[in-house]
Structure 1
C-alpha cells in the first residue's frame, strides 16, 4: 500500500545529520539524495535499509503541509486515474503524472495536495 513517506524539515543539513545518527543503529542509512537543482523545488534525502528509500526528509518551503505520503500503484494508468480522481475530489494539482528520472528511469508519479495541504502521491516503479 505505502511506497514511501516524507516529512518537511526547517534546516535540511541539521535534520540530515540528526537522522543519519539516530537511524544508524537500526541499519537505516541515506540511500539517495536529490538536489533542488534536480527537482526544481527543494533538497531531499531518502533513507532505507535495502537500497530503496522508504523515509524522506526535505526542506520544502511552506508550499505544502509537513507530510508527504506516496501510495504504490500497479500501473501508470492507475497513477493517471488517481490524479484525475484526486482532482475531482477537490485536491490541488502538485505535479501531473509523468516520469521523474532523477529518482530512476521508470519512476512514474503524480502529486496532489489534499484539503489540508499535505503532499499525496501515487507512484508506479514499473517500466512503461
Structure 2
C-alpha cells in the first residue's frame, strides 16, 4: 500500500479543503479530472481516505471548555466503563492506553458543573484525573507533515 507524491498531494489538498471539486483537485496535481477521480477512488478503496467530513467548532455549539480525563477502571469494571464512555456524547475522543490508566478521553463541556455531572456517572466504576485544556498549540494533523 505505497503512496506516491501525487497521492500525498491529493491527501494534503483534501485535508485543507475536503469540499474541493475533482476538477480543482486535478488542476492542482496536474492530472485530468478522470485520472484524479480514479486516484481518489483508489485511495478510498484502500482505506487511506476513510471519510470526507466537516470541522465544527464546539464553542459555536455552546461547549466553551475542553478537558482531558484519565480513567482507571476499578477491578472488574473495565468493560462496564468502556460501554459507559461510549455512551457519553460529550466525549469526542477516547483512547484505550497502556500504563496506570486504561482510558484517556477528551470531553467538550458547557461548564465546570457540566464536568462534575459527567464525572459523577463514572466515579462508582473508575478513578479519574482531569485536566482542563487551556489552548491547543497543535491541532489534530497527519503525521509527517
Which protein has the bigger strand share? 1
Q: What is the TM-score normalised by the length of structure 2? A: 0.27
Which structure shows the higher helix fraction?
A: 2
Which one has a bigger Cα radius of gyration?
Answer: 2
TM-score with structure 1 setting the length: 0.29
